Amino acid sequence: MPIYDPDHVEYEITSGHIQVAMEDGTTLPAYWAHPTMGAKFPGVVLLHDWWGVTPMIRRMAMLFAQSGHYVIVPDLFNGKVAGTHAEALALLEALGDTGYKRANTALGALETHHHCNGDVGVVGLGMGGSLAFEAAIVRADLEAAVVVGGFPQRYLGHFKSANTPILAFYGAEDRFIARQLVDKLRAELAACKIDPPHEVVLLEGIGHDIFAEDLPESQREIGRSAWHRIIDFFDNLLEGPNQPPEKKRY
């Protein structure tokens, strides 16, 4: 993934940890990144995969913020991070059916934040991608949904209700999601009458973890290409900030 994108404006940002109030009186921990200038920006809720809020997820949040978004990463695992597949599966099982409720709370909090202009998109990776599918189907007020390696099984047959444009990425060498399942998803999304249309992108030469930081350079370039497409997708569907940044002097 790029550290600097010369094709887009780059904002100075700040980041940290916050608590989001849940309806039941509990709080949801979250990571937060946003431009430092006091304009109103489009919002992005970034939903992590089954590893938790890792350094890579925080870095993605900062990159979205640098490109001009207010970003919330709800910590669905309450601070726990998995180091093995067994630990990740245990965290996923402990989360149960509460994941979407937490993700939906973050979406609502961001949409009404005084520094968000009301346009909100969702990005989900793996487990988080599945929740992003659900948000695109259930919520009528999202502008865009990006899914990276999300599991579509439980949502097939329901995408006709999705009024949110979906951009989904899958690695052609994904060991967890069969090509036939991706083809079923593509066919169902193609049948939806929506403008702009949903899109499924199959990335040759890469597996499930498209944005992993330990990939060889050839695969990192594939991830960078996907990242540019995500930013362009949001630029087209989310209203930009109401105040441009000052030009930097070098």
Q: Are 113 and 43 in contact (CB under 8 A)?
A: yes
Residue 149 · residue 171 · CB < 8 Å: yes
pLDDT of 39 reads: 85
Q: Is 145:167 a contact under the CB 8 Å cutoff?
A: yes
How many residues are there in the chain? 250
Q: Is residue 250 part of a domain?
A: no
Q: Report if residue 31 sits inside a domain.
A: yes
Look at strands 116-125 and 166-171 and give their pairing: unpaired
Tokens of 174: 């994904």
Q: Which of 36-40, 42-46, 182-186 has the lowest mean pLDDT?
A: 36-40
> What one-letter code names the amino acid at 226?
A
% of the chain surpassing 70 pLDDT: 93
Quickly state the pLDDT bin for 213 (edges 50, 70, 90): confident
In a domain, 248, yes or no: no
Whether residue 87 is contained in a domain is answered as yes
pLDDT score for 6 = 56
DSSP letters, 105-146, are HHHHHHHT-TTEEEEEEEEEETHHHHHHHHHHHH-SS-SEEE
For residue 134, which amino acid is it?
E
Q: What is the pLDDT of residues 133-150, one digit of tens each?
A: 999 999 999 999 999 999
pLDDT band at 166 (very low <50, low <70, confident <90, very high): very high
3 pLDDT above the threshold of 50: no
Q: For residue 2, is the peptide bond before it cis, meaning its omega torsion is within 30 degrees of 0?
A: no
- What pLDDT is stored for residue 248 in this prediction? 46
| 158 or 6, greater pLDDT | 158
Residue 191 maps to which CATH number? 3.40.50.1820
Of 21-25, 55-59, 122-126, 163-167, the range with the lowest mean pLDDT is 21-25
Residue 210 inside a domain? The answer is yes
pLDDT digit string, tens, across residues 109-133 = 999 999 999 999 999 999 999 999 9
For residue 164, name the pLDDT band (cuts at 50, 70, 90): very high
Domain annotation covers residue 209:
yes
> Which pLDDT score is estimated for 2?
47
Residue 30: predicted pLDDT: 96
Residue 2 placed within a domain: no
Q: Average per-residue pLDDT in the chain?
A: 92
Give pLDDT tens digits for 175-204: 999 999 999 999 999 999 999 999 999 999
Taking the C-alpha atoms of residue 96 and residue 93, their distance in angstroms, rounded to an integer, is 5
User: For the chain, how many structural domains are there in total?
Assistant: 1
Q: Phi/psi of residue 15, each to 5°?
A: -150, 165
Domain annotation covers residue 1 = no
Determine the structural domain holding residue 191 and report its residue range: 13-237
pLDDT above 60 for 5: no
Cα Rg, the chain, nearest whole Å: 17
At residue 112, φ and ψ (nearest 5 deg) are -100, 5
Q: Kind of pairing, strands 199-203 and 166-171?
A: parallel
* Strand boundaries in the chain, DSSP class E: 13-21, 27-35, 41-47, 70-74, 116-125, 144-148, 166-171, 199-203
CA distances from 211 to 34, 48, 64, 207 (A): 21, 12, 14, 10
Closest CA to 110 of 99, 121, 125, 98: 121
Global pTM value: 0.93
